Every structure is written in C-alpha cells, then in structure tokens.
Amino acid sequence: MKPRPATGRRLANGVVSVLSTLSAVLGLVMLAWILWVVVSRGLGAFDLAFFTQLPTPPGLEGGGLANAIIGTLVMTLLATLVAVPLGLLAGVYLAEFGQGSRLADNTRFSANVLIGMPSIIIGVFAYALVVVPLGRFSGYAGIVALAVIMLPIAARTAEDMLRLVPNTLREAALALGAPRWKITLTVVFRAAKAGLITGILLAVARVSGETAPLLFTALNSPYMMSSLGEPTPNLTVTIFNYAMSPYADWQQKAWGASLLITGGVLALTLVTRYILGERKT
C-alpha cells in the first residue's frame, strides 16, 4: 500500500487549524461585541429607582422594574425547588438502580428530547396544562414551564456526574455493610457534589433568559406580585414589551433588564467554572 504524501497531511492539518482558530476568534469577538453593546446601553438604566420602584405608565419617565425582578426571582426559585429534586432522583435511578433497564433507556431518551425541544413548545404545553384549566395566566403556569425545561438538564447532569464516581467507593461501602440507599446519599453524592451543583447552576442559567414559555403562562403585570395565581411580572417578558415600545425610557430599561439577566447568567457561569476547577484539583 502506497503511503500518503506527508505534504498533503501537513496542508490539511494547517487548513483545519486555521479554520478552527478563526472560528474560535469569531465566537470570542461576537461574545465581546454582545457584552459591550448590552453593558454600554444598559448600564445607564441602573439607579436606585430601577431596583426599588414600580414601572411608570406609558410615556412617563422614571420608575423601575422592582416587580419584574422579584417575580423572576420567585418563579426561578420555585421552579428550581420543583425540578432539581425530581431531576436528582431521576439521575440517581439512571446511574445507580436502572442501568440497562427499558425504563431507564426510555427515560434517558425522553430527557435528551426535552433538552433539545424549543422552549416555546414547552410554553404551549404549560398553557394547555395549567392556563386553560384555570382560565387565566398565572405564576404557577410559569413555574411549571420553567421546571419542565430544567428537569431534563438536572437529570442528565446528575446521571453523568454520578457515573464518574469510581465503583471502588461503592464496593468499599458495601463491604462495610452499608445499605445501597445510604451509600448513594453519603458516599456517591458526596463524591459527585461539585458536579451536581454545576448541573443545578446550568439548569438555572438555562431558564433565566427564557421569554417564550412565560408569554404563554405567566404573561406579565405592571404591579407588584401579590399572588402566583395571577399574571406575574418577570424580566424577560418586560424586555420583550419594552424593547418594542416607542418610548425611549422604556427602551433604556429594556437594555438595563438585559444587562441584569446577562450579569446573572455570567455570574452563574463563573461560579460553575470555579466549582469545576475546584473539583479537578
């Protein structure tokens, strides 16, 4: 068999290396560009009123987005409390108890499909499941939509992290006579703690900028949230509404809300990378 000339291999390697480098640089430039635009246009909206006051009527300057900030935090927190325990339990089953079973295969396949599903479809699902029976938009429907988005991410991340734990740890605990459930909670979970926390943070970051599901479920409100059984203010739908308005003050607040969400996602990403770095060391 005649060997392939080394010149051709070097040329192909050089072309692929250049294209890869250009792609990475392009991605970094686009990210820096987006961050620069959001920061330069949104920083001017930040003041005490932005975080403490309610929105003003259309055409009037001033006010803030305190109601949307609180509504977003409440719905995200409650969705996390719903989705994360279920996701962790599903991950434990997939990694520890259901290996090779048909139920585990179907669950894993369903989680993979849900992760890649457009969020607007999940919003329509939550609309049909909660909004239509109740007859009104509500924070509860928004929580359901966000929890459905978070659930498969938490489940698949938990499974992957638990599978990375060496079997020798499980065998050592079994040799000491510990029951399987106790080994999972006290040994396996402790060994995979950093990875599990990372999965939770990634799930929270995934839903923090979702607009489409909340348009079909929580909708929005210009008032302070008093109950989750009514339309609930949130940052993403507020950005959607304010950005399309003809009022310069509302457009400025839309940039400020975008910067707030971007900063939150960036902070979660940095925390995630720090936890992963600590785990590797």
Within a 13 Å sphere around the CA of 252, how many CA atoms are in the beta-carbon half? 16
| Residue 247: C-alpha distances to residues 62, 69, 250 (Å) | 12, 21, 5
Beta strands in 170-252, from DSSP E residues, in sequence order: none
* Over residues 8-18, mean pLDDT: 85
Q: What is the pLDDT of residue 4?
A: 62
Residue scoring higher pLDDT (4 or 252): 252
Sequence-distant (6+) residues with CB within 8 A of 141 are: 126, 127, 129, 130, 131, 134, 216, 217, 218
CB-based burial label for 26 (10 Å; 0-12, 13-18, 19+) = exposed
Distance of CA 107 to the CA centre of its chain: 20
Average pLDDT, the chain: 90
Of the two residues 42 and 11, the one the predictor is more confident about is 42
Average pLDDT for 188-199:
87
- The model's confidence at residue 279, banded by pLDDT at 50, 70 and 90, is low
Q: How large a percentage of the chain has pLDDT more than 70? A: 95
Asked if residue 35 has pLDDT above 80, the reply is yes
Three-state DSSP class for residue 55: strand
Q: How confident is the model at residue 58 (pLDDT cuts 50, 70, 90)?
A: confident
CA 162 – CA 256 distance, rounded (Å)? 39
Position 276 confidence tier, pLDDT thresholds 50, 70, 90:
low
- The predicted-structure confidence for 222-240, as pLDDT tens digits, reads as follows 999 989 999 999 999 999 9
Residue 260 counted as domain residue = yes
CB 35 within 8 A of CB 196: no
- CATH number of the domain that residue 241 is part of: 1.10.3720.10
Q: Which domain holds residue 209?
A: 58-280
- pLDDT at position 208: 86
Residue 31 within a domain: no
Asked if residue 25 belongs to a domain, the reply is no
pLDDT tens-digit readout, 146-184: 999 999 999 999 999 999 999 898 888 888 888 888 888
**Residue 200: its pLDDT value, please?**
87
Q: Is residue 200 part of a domain?
A: yes
Percentage with pLDDT > 90 across the chain: 64
Is 244 among the domain residues?
A: yes
243-266 pLDDT, tens digit per residue, is 999 999 999 999 999 999 999 888
Average pLDDT over residues 45-74: 92
Question: 201 is written with which tokens?
Answer: 């943070």
Tell whether 30 is covered by a domain.
no
Secondary structure (DSSP) of 189-216: HHHTHHHHHHHHHHHHHHHTT--HHHHH
Per-residue pLDDT tens digits for 204-217: 988 988 999 999 99
**Considering the domain boundaries, does residue 163 fall inside one?**
yes
Number of domains in the chain: 1
pLDDT score recorded for residue 236: 94
Residue 6 counted as domain residue: no
Residue 8 confidence (pLDDT) above 80: no
Give how far Cα 73 sits from Cα of 8, 151, 235, Å: 56, 18, 9
- pLDDT class of 2 with cuts at 50, 70, 90: low
